[in-house]
Chain A
Amino acid sequence: MLALNNIEVIYNDVILVLKGLSLEVPEGRIVALLGSNGAGKSTTLKAISGLLKPENGEVTDGEVRFLDQPIHKKDAAEIVRMGIFQVMEGRRVFEHLTVEENLRAGAYIRGTRSLAQDLELVYSYFPRLKERRAQTAGFLSGGEQQMLAIGRALMAHPKLIMLDEPSLGLAPLLVEEIFRIIKRINQEQRTTILLVEQNARLALDAADHAYIMENGRIVLDGAPAALKDNADVREFYLGLNEVGGRKSYRDVKHYKRRKRWLS
């Protein structure tokens, strides 16, 4: 459904952030993209959604194809209309608008078509938003704001939702609730999901396929079960030692494992 072939992204004409990255998102699946800070995960999403331009970034090589059409030259509004919706990192709700107005803003490309139905659909996934529909979004809790951000995406009837760190800054219980809902949306609405996460354990549990990126490249990919068994992933992303117990900081100094993939 979505394929990135060898893309290269440069910011401000000099900073090379993505160095020939390829990945594929099959229809109806949840694909996770993992990596540490600064690996280029958010940049990858922005390269897909067309949000690079306002930040002075550019796809200089390779191509992004969605539904068999190249989209890396299109602007953000066109890409949203084609059915890709990015839920940006840090929730980014419109703080001075009410919950319902936020949702209506998400439905902008659809106008007022089936507005009432869509609102009901979002409220069925997030009953808490319904209770707070008239409240100013800036006063919601972090978890509610994340729900609003995802709900806002649903309003646009996207074929692919890209979630940029939905767990950021949320309490563990809330994170689990949100991930449950993401899986439900994937199953019930048949919405394809590309998930960027730092919380590797959760992401690997939710995803059908996962990519690990570092320094602007994909270094490893595979089924979550296989990745969970990979010694490097266990060490660097899951914080487990080879036996499977939690890693103790006491051992850190004695032996530092080097990554077996070369970046």
Chain B
Amino acid sequence: MEKLIQLTLSGVANGAIFGLVALGFVLIYKSSDVINFAQGEFLLIGAYLTYMTVQQIGLWWPLGVVVAVLLAAAVGVLIEQLILRPLIGEPAISVIMVTIGLSSLLRAIVGAIWGVTPRAAPQFLPRETVTILGASVGVDKLWAIALALILFALLTLFFRRSSEGIAMRAVADDQQAALSMGISVKRVWAVAWAIAAVTAAVGGILLMSIFGGVSGQIARVGLLVFPVVILGGLDSIPGAILGGLIIGLLQSYAGGYLPPELGMGEVMPFIILLLILLIRPYGLFGQTIIERV
């Protein structure tokens, strides 16, 4: 029983982080049809920027995190303006190649600035454990869950209530119609990239705190974005969040209950990915439009 609770909570914590990263991916895909293979690198950027502001510059950590998140947003907008914008109207495959290249480029830049050896991270989430129903659970995991939930709630509010959020959903629905009412599609794309960078950066910061260190490993979590979005549906925001939780839980259970020498925790998300592609290629909540990429 304790094991179940422990695995569930750590699964939910990881899943919430996957959901955050996937959310950014979905947002970019929905608003501009770009499949962003560099989404995982935003995790890395968020984590290293926080490492820089908190550890190297020595800011008070909440301030450091805010500065790092804002910088990540700026990086997102910059990438959209400089790299993706000139590609408007190019075939989807070129855009995909560019984002794959972008992911290597970003990793290399991070490596060039901060080196490739893992570093101890600033620890700002409390590290003690609490006992819930007999299972001891790290408080940092609970924090990760809470912060992810707050971010989800804020984003939901943004999309439902603010003009800018409604405009973004309008562009995702029908770009030309949105254009016809004076909504600036370019601005919506910039906002989408900024939000994608921010959610991923927050995910990276949470992961850094949970791992207790920063290294290139963090970007590998970005790979899990694909099982998550394909499970949830490429164009569904609730799908990204739910998909994240499901993948997180399955990964945690598979790692905890199946023999560790099989390494099922690592593999499980991709088995799901294959199954979903075979059975329901548009995901749980995706629109059933056939698109050739």
Contact = CB atoms under 8 A, between A and B. Distances in A.
Interface of A: 49, 51, 54, 76-77, 80-81, 85-86, 88, 92-97, 101-102, 104-109, 111-112, 152-153, 156
Closest 5 CB pairs of A and B: A80-B182, A92-B177, A94-B173, A109-B182, A105-B170
A108 B169 contact: no
Interface residues of B, number: 19
Contacts of A153: 181
Given A108-B181, A108-B182, A51 B176 contact: yes
Nearest to B164: A108
Given A80-B182, A112-B163, 9 more contacts: A76-B179, A85-B180, A94-B169, A94-B177, A96-B172, A97-B166, A105-B178, A105-B181, A108-B181
Interface of B: 160, 163, 166-167, 169-170, 172-184
B174 A152 contact: no
B233 to A, nearest CB: 13
B219 to A, nearest CB: 32
Nearest to B176: A54
A51 B170 contact: no
A108 B180 contact: no
Nearest to A115: B163
Contact of A111 (B160, B163, B178): B163
A105 B167 contact: yes
Instruction: Give the dominant DSSP class at B's interface.
Output: helix
16 contacts: A49-B180, A51-B176, A54-B179, A77-B184, A80-B181, A88-B180, A94-B170, A94-B173, A95-B173, A96-B173, A105-B181, A105-B183, A108-B163, A108-B167, A109-B181, A112-B163
Given A94-B173, A96-B173, A97-B173, A104 B166 contact: yes
Contacts of A76: 179-180, 182
Contacts of B173: 94-97
Contacts of B169: 94, 96-97, 101
Contacts of B174: 92, 94-95
Contacts, number: 73
Nearest to B235: A96
B179 A108 contact: no
A90 to B, nearest CB: 9
Contact of B177 (A81, A88, A111): A88
Contacts of B177: 88, 92-94
B176 A152 contact: no
> Which interface residue of A85, A94, A112 has the most chain B CB atoms within 10 A?
A94
A101 B166 contact: yes
Nearest to B179: A76
A77 B182 contact: yes
Contacts of A92: 174, 176-177, 180
A235 B175 CA distance: 40
B180 A156 contact: no
Given A51-B176, A92-B176, A97 B170 contact: yes
B178 A51 contact: no
Contacts of A101: 160, 166, 169
A94 B179 CA distance: 12
A105 B182 CA distance: 9
A92 B99 CA distance: 31
Nearest to A95: B173
Contacts of B183: 77, 105, 108
A112 B163 CA distance: 8
Contacts of B180: 49, 51, 76, 80, 85-86, 88, 92
